[in-house]
Structure 1
Amino acid sequence: MTITSFAAGTYRFDRQSASLVSMKSQLDGLARQLSTGRTAETYGGLGVGRTTSLSAHAAISAQDGYLAAITSAETRVKLTSASLTQLKSLSDSTRSNLTGIVASRNEALPATTVQLAANNLSAAVDALNQQAGGVYVFSGRATDTEPVVSQDAILNGVPAEGLDGLRTLIAEQKAADLGTAGNGRLEKTVTEETIVLSEDSRGEARMNFGFSLLSASGSGSGALSAKVTEGAPPNVDLRFASLPSEGTQVRVVVQDADGSQKTLDLTARAGEAGNAAGAFRIGATPEETAANLKTALGGAAIASVQSATPPGLTATFSGGSPATASLAVDPTANPVAGDTITLKLGLHDGTTKTITLTAAATADKASTTTFAIGATAEITTENLSRALDNALKQAANTELSASSTARASLNFFEGSPAAGLSPRRVAADGNGYAEAASAKTVIWYKGDTASDPRASATVQAGASRTVAIGAQANEEAIRRTLAGLAAVAAESFTTGSGTVDTARFEAVSGRAASLLTASEGQQSLEQLGTDFGLAASSMANAKSVANTTKATLQDSLDGVDTVSTEEVAAKLLSLQTQLQASYKVTSILSEMSLVNYLR
């Protein structure tokens, strides 16, 4: 241990030196604060304020993160909203054009309308393929994948790859609906004074193609009578070739009470998850699983099934009976001019067509509305049969053909990149739909297939606030818009001789306009726009909250992290004055001695 020597009279000078060093240190500290604006250069230098500073800086950093995420997402939402607005404009202009031309009956305009629809379809594809910061906004989670193929690929397929487009599907659907007789697959027999029409005897074909017989009646003198005998739907036996695995999807098309069809995509799930909506339970065997699938359908009338292989879902149609319509001429009393026969037909898009045939003294053999009264009931029946054939073929080539176009377009745009969910195709024999998913059809959508498109992209806009901003081009409203545009763009209403088929154009126009108009219970483009409008509003609100919170936190750091330059300058000036005074006093004292004093 070393003991420092101590001399009497040195204590005062040591204290003065220490004081001067302390004031110099304070002076340096104040000078540094004045130049940097910071209280200290380390958190340790903040003393008890360091806890407040650390927590405040962490919170400010979090708010900066939220603001950065919101700023990036705002661009994406604006672009998505702009694309939806463009789609709505394209849909409205096409629908308006279709309605206007039908009303004007200008035969020169259908070709122009087809071109307009094709141009609008191309513009719609461009709108859906927009990018924001290198992200395809309508691809869901598959942000690096362009969601929609080209307009040409949609309409014409990709021949080099052996892939068929919409025009091929429309041609197949028309052929299946028309049948070999070209009358909507109705079978006709004539026996003396009675004409009997019957739906297709094959249950699967009857459920999917051609006309349905709904009702028939005669009016006038009573010499004409008609009635429809209702049929019975076929029984459908579902089978899986192998047990489906967890997450496997199958497609089942069911028929509603009005004759229209609805596509259901169901997912195989194990355990209780299989009882959820949109799912079916995987059983111990393929047979048990098929029974569970049928239970999940809730007794709906099955029209067709489709899946990948495996699991190889098939449907066998048996039993049931076709509806028949009986039209009769009274053998004892010929009809009089003005007597009518009315037949109501159903189509598989839920629409109906009514045919009315009127008795007349004379009638053109090609007439679709009148038939000649013959000398006998048998001759009248023959004339009625010929007019009925003409009317059925005309209805098949207009209303039924237009229905085929619309249905094929919907089927095409229901196609999905998910295994087993490609567009539905007519089977090779033309009497049903293929049960194995086609590998030879263009899949128009290449993006993500999440069940909740909004949740496919989210923004953390606050500690407990998440805003969903995802979008997919395969959402219902977008699919129907594309189907409506493509249904017109894929058609031609000019015959080889240059004649415009105005009747078929009007029929297609009506169905296309229906596709472009959301009915009750269907998702609309306006609803999609509202979703993103709400997302933009929520982010704007979150941005305001984040900015306010950040400003409040920064205010709380005043006096902790930062200093008031005015206050520091005042302290610095005061300290400089003290230090100068101390230096002067110290200098004077250091020069004092007894000799100087005695002088």
Structure 2
Amino acid sequence: MTINAFAAGTYRFDRQSASLVGMKNQLDGLARQLSTGRTSETYGGLGAGRTTSLSAHAAISAQDGYLAAITSAETRVKVTSASLTQLKTLADSTQANLTNIVSSRNQALPQTSVQLAANNLSAAVDALNQQVGGVYVFSGRATDTSPVVSDQAILNGVPSEGLDGLKTLIAEQKAADLGPAGNGRLSQSLAGSSLTLSEDGSGEARANLGFSLEAATSSGSGALVANRTAGTKADVTLSLAEQPAEGSQVRVVVQLADGSQKTLDLTARAGEAGNGPGSFLIGATKEATALNLKAALGGADIASVQSANPPGLAAAFTGGRPASATVALGSQPVAGDAITLKLGMHDGTTRTITLTAGATADATSATTFAISDKPGAAGIAETAANLDATLKRALQQAAATDLSASSTARASLNFFEGSPVAGLSPRRVNADGDGYAQTASSKTVIWYKGDTAADARGTVAVQVGTSRTVEIGAQANEEAIRRSLAGIAAVAAERFSGATTDGDRFQALSNRAATLFTAGEGAASLEDMGTDFGLAASSMANAKSVAGATKATLENSLDGVDTVSTEEVAAKLLSLQTQLQASYKVTSILSEMSLVNFLR
């Protein structure tokens, strides 16, 4: 231990020095606070206020994060909403043009609708391929993938890759629906004075293709008697080539009560999940799984099935009886006697054919048949032959107009139901033309390349608060978008001349396009989608306001803790400077004093 020397007055000078050093340190600290505006450069220097500062800064940082996320998401929502608005405008433009041309009855104008629809399809593709900051907004979670292929690939396919487009699918569908005789796959025969009309004998073909006989009636003198015999549906047995893997998807098309069809995509699941909506339970064997799949359909009438291979889903149609209609001439009809046939199509629409007896009739008429002037049975037989010929022309005309338009609309809807998921490519007609292929085709353009999540909004969630998120995801394969594209593309893929038949076909297609532009039952429309994003924008604006106010409050709470009042610091600095100067002066005077000065 070292003992320092002690002299009289040492303690006083030490205290003075320590005081001067302390004031100098205070002066330096106040000067630093004045220049930086901060209480201290370290949390330790805040003393008891450091806990408040740490928690407040963490909360401010969180609010900054929310504000940054909201700002980015607001741009995305605006672009998505603008694209949806553009798509709705294009669909409305296409439909309005179709309606105006139908009203004008100008046979030269339908082809201009085709060109407008083609332009609108190109614009729709551009709208759906919009990006924000390098992110495709209509691809769901696949943000780096352009969601929609080009309009040319949609219509014409990609020949260099062996992929067919919509035009090929429409041609296949028309050929299958019209059948070999071009009359909607109906069988027509005449025996004496009795005419018989029957649906296709194949249960699978009846469920999917051509005309169905809905009704047959007669009116007038009673010489013509029309009757319809109802058919029965074929039994459908499902089978699987292999057990499906967990998550495998299959496609089943079912018949609805109005004669239209609905596509269902079901997922194979194990355990309790297999009993959920949109799923079917994987059984102990592939046979048990097939039965579970049929049970999951709830008794719906199966029209066709499709899957990848494996699992190789197949449907066998057995039994059933086609509907038929007979028209018997018990005696020679009189002018005005008529028969009426109601024909159904597989989009849920119908076509009514009325054939009326006349004293004379044009040889090409599809509405009037001539009454023979021959007496007795020979005359009745000739009248029946005239009716038979007129009916053939009427059926072919109906097939070339309404049924052809139905084929176009159905093929377009099938095309846009195509998915990148294995087994869910667009439905294609079998090579024999009698049904649909049950193994998914690999030779068809898949128009959509993005995410296929069931909940499109949930693919992108923005954290806008501590426990608050806003969902702003979108996918170009959502039903409202698919249907709009199908309506536009159905028109763009067609060709029309000035012929009367083409004019009737154009009108029929216009009616079906209007149906495609309308949301299906229970499905969201483009307007509904727009509302979703409008609500998201409103929610984010509210969250932004809350985050801004919260941040401002927290920053205010740091006044006096992290930050200092420059006026107060300046006043303290001036006071301390005065004290220090005075201390220096006194210390200087005292240091010059000595006993010698008093002894003189």
- TM class by smaller structure: over 0.9
2:430 is the counterpart of 1:434: no
Of residues 571-580 and 93-102 in structure 1, the stretch that sits farther from structure 2 once superposed is 571-580
Aligned residues of 1:196 and 1:324 also touching (Cα < 8 A): yes
| Alpha-carbon distance in structure 2 between the residues aligned to 1:139 and 1:321 | 46
| Alpha-carbon distance in structure 2 between the residues aligned to 1:363 and 1:523 | 51
3-state secondary structure, aligned to 2:441:
coil
Alignment-derived partner of residue 388 in structure 1:
391
| Alpha-carbon distance in structure 1 between the residues aligned to 2:348 and 2:523 | 15
3-state secondary structure, aligned to 2:425:
coil
Q: TM-score, normalised by structure 1?
A: 0.97
Alignment-derived partner of residue 555 in structure 1:
556
Residues 352-389 of structure 1: CA deviation (Å, up to 9, x unaligned): 11111111111112111111122332222111111111
Aligned residues of 2:429 and 2:437 also touching (Cα < 8 A): yes
Alignment-derived partner of residue 202 in structure 1:
202
2:497 is the counterpart of 1:494: yes
Q: How many residues align?
A: 595
Alignment-derived partner of residue 367 in structure 1:
365
Alignment-derived partner of residue 161 in structure 1:
161
Aligned residues of 1:252 and 1:265 also touching (Cα < 8 A): yes
Of residues 11-20 and 28-37 in structure 1, the stretch that sits farther from structure 2 once superposed is 11-20
2:310 is the counterpart of 1:304: no
Structure 1: gaps (5+ residues): none
Alignment-derived partner of residue 464 in structure 1:
467
| Alpha-carbon distance in structure 1 between the residues aligned to 2:518 and 2:315 | 33
Alignment-derived partner of residue 354 in structure 2:
356
Give the superposition deviation at 1:513: 2.1
Q: 2:343 aligns with which of 334, 345, 363?
A: 345
Residue 302 and residue 187 in structure 1: after superposition, are their counterparts in 2 closer, same or farther (change >3 A)? same
Alignment-derived partner of residue 524 in structure 1:
525
Of residues 272-281 and 320-329 in structure 1, the stretch that sits farther from structure 2 once superposed is 320-329
Could you tell me which amino acid in structure 1 is paired with residue 394 of structure 2? A
Give the superposition deviation at 1:193: 2.1
Alignment-derived partner of residue 581 in structure 1:
582
Residues 438-473 of structure 1: CA deviation (Å, up to 9, x unaligned): 000011111111111111112111111111111111
Residues 506-558 of structure 1: CA deviation (Å, up to 9, x unaligned): 11111112212335433211111111111111111111111111111111111
Alignment-derived partner of residue 333 in structure 2:
335
2:412 is the counterpart of 1:414: no
Of residues 227-236 and 301-310 in structure 1, the stretch that sits farther from structure 2 once superposed is 227-236
3-state secondary structure, aligned to 2:523:
coil
3-state secondary structure, aligned to 2:189:
strand
| Alpha-carbon distance in structure 1 between the residues aligned to 2:284 and 2:414 | 33
Aligned residues of 2:108 and 2:497 also touching (Cα < 8 A): no
Give the superposition deviation at 1:244: 0.1
3-state secondary structure, aligned to 1:122:
helix
**1:17-416 → structure 2 map (5 Å cutoff):** 17-330=17-330, 333-374=331-372, 375=374, 376-416=379-419
| Alpha-carbon distance in structure 1 between the residues aligned to 2:390 and 2:432 | 30
| Alpha-carbon distance in structure 2 between the residues aligned to 1:408 and 1:587 | 105
Give the superposition deviation at 1:43: 0.7
| Alpha-carbon distance in structure 1 between the residues aligned to 2:540 and 2:384 | 73
Give the superposition deviation at 1:6: 2.2
Give the superposition deviation at 1:577: 1.1
Residues 267-310 of structure 1: CA deviation (Å, up to 9, x unaligned): 00000000000000001110000000000000000000000010
3-state secondary structure, aligned to 2:214:
strand
Q: TM-score, normalised by structure 2?
A: 0.97
| Alpha-carbon distance in structure 2 between the residues aligned to 1:327 and 1:352 | 20
3-state secondary structure, aligned to 1:501:
helix
Give the superposition deviation at 1:492: 0.5
- Percent identical residues: 76
3-state secondary structure, aligned to 1:143:
coil
| Alpha-carbon distance in structure 1 between the residues aligned to 2:444 and 2:160 | 12
| Alpha-carbon distance in structure 2 between the residues aligned to 1:234 and 1:271 | 32
| Alpha-carbon distance in structure 2 between the residues aligned to 1:271 and 1:389 | 56
Could you tell me which amino acid in structure 2 is paired with residue 254 of structure 1? V
Could you tell me which amino acid in structure 1 is paired with residue 289 of structure 2? T
Aligned residues of 2:39 and 2:563 also touching (Cα < 8 A): yes
Aligned residues of 2:235 and 2:319 also touching (Cα < 8 A): yes
Residues 60-94 of structure 1: CA deviation (Å, up to 9, x unaligned): 11111111111111111111111111111111111
Of residues 263-272 and 11-20 in structure 1, the stretch that sits farther from structure 2 once superposed is 11-20
Structure 2: gaps (5+ residues): none
Aligned residues of 1:217 and 1:343 also touching (Cα < 8 A): yes
Could you tell me which amino acid in structure 2 is paired with residue 465 of structure 1? R
Could you tell me which amino acid in structure 2 is paired with residue 435 of structure 1? Q
| Alpha-carbon distance in structure 1 between the residues aligned to 2:99 and 2:416 | 24
Residues 92-131 of structure 1: CA deviation (Å, up to 9, x unaligned): 1110000000000111211111100001001111111111
Of residues 225-234 and 371-380 in structure 1, the stretch that sits farther from structure 2 once superposed is 371-380
| Alpha-carbon distance in structure 2 between the residues aligned to 1:587 and 1:161 | 98
